[in-house]
Amino acid sequence: MNNRYIGALILSPLLVFLFIGGIYLKYLVFILSLMGLYEFYKVIKEKEINSFSIIGYIFCIIYYIYMGENINTEFIFYIIVLATIISLIIPVIDVKYNFIDSAATILGCIYVPVFFSFIVAVNNKMNGNYFVWLIFIASWVGDTSAYYTGKYFGNNKLCPKVSPKKTIEGSIGGLLGSAIGCGIFGFFIINKGVNILLIHFIILGVLSGILSQLGDLVASSIKRYAGVKDYSNLIPGHGGILDRFDSILFSTVAVYYYLNFIIGI
């Protein structure tokens, strides 16, 4: 069996937490955040960037303990400032570290735990038990569509210096897959009583599809810089947590912002 399908089977129990939601989903995302943060700090160490991982882990724990129903931007600001100050002081105390190490530490805090937490924030919204699926539909359906479209029709490279295998045709196929997948899901939940125009779901699919692909490319650029193929080998055929969730880290922000600022939920 193709390793991609084996990896998908390993990940499938995680979908149960999407159905359950609530505190169970929150702590699943918390665990994924810690694992993803570990992978991020481990990979950048390949380029001798010595992040202060303990600060990142403490940040992640405090953030999820005090996370409420929605993203508390004021709270994020306070703990990011505190973590930044501490990270910048360390190179003064121990000169074997430098400000690049400090910057990488804080970047990891935002890129992994904070971005992951938007899954929980979307789930906590009104009808969030439906909307949270848009994040994964846009990302995973788009990724699958891009893979097969690129495999059979891809001739023109999309971003060869970052991800040599990705093609323009695959990107278009992935975008269409995201839009169609979210549109079909939108039609389904509208019939379940969710009073939102279908066009919003299609737009969400397009926006999330674009952000998902950019998230994938961002993760690829980090790995390419570090000189590694995958963040880890945790999931057969998929790599590590960040390899599988790299697109979701961006699509979850797109869905949350659209619901918050455009639809007004």
pLDDT tens digit sequence for 224-260: 999 999 998 887 666 899 998 999 999 999 999 999 9
For the residues 15-43, what does the mean pLDDT come to? Answer: 90
pLDDT digits (tens, 9 = 90+) for 53-99: 999 999 999 999 998 777 888 899 999 999 999 999 999 999 999 99
Percentage helix, strand, coil, to 5, in the chain?
Answer: 75, 5, 20
pLDDT at 56 (0 to 100)? 97
What per-residue confidence (pLDDT) applies to 59?
A: 96
Task: Name the pLDDT band for 49 (thresholds 50, 70, 90).
Answer: very high
Binned at pLDDT 50, 70 and 90, residue 15 comes out as confident
Task: Quote the DSSP letter at residue 164.
Answer: E
Dihedral of alpha carbons 102, 116, 173, 233, sign:
positive
Q: pLDDT class for 2, splitting at 50, 70, 90?
A: low
Query: CA nearest 181: which of 215, 222, 145, 213?
Result: 145
Gap between the Cα atoms of 212 and 18, Å rounded: 19
CB 211 within 8 A of CB 251: yes
Residue 16 phi/psi, 5-degree rounding, is -60, -35
Number of H helices, E strands in the chain: 12, 2
pLDDT value at 42 more than 60: yes
Over residues 93-145, the pLDDT tens digits come to 999 999 999 999 999 999 999 999 999 999 999 999 999 999 999 998 999 99
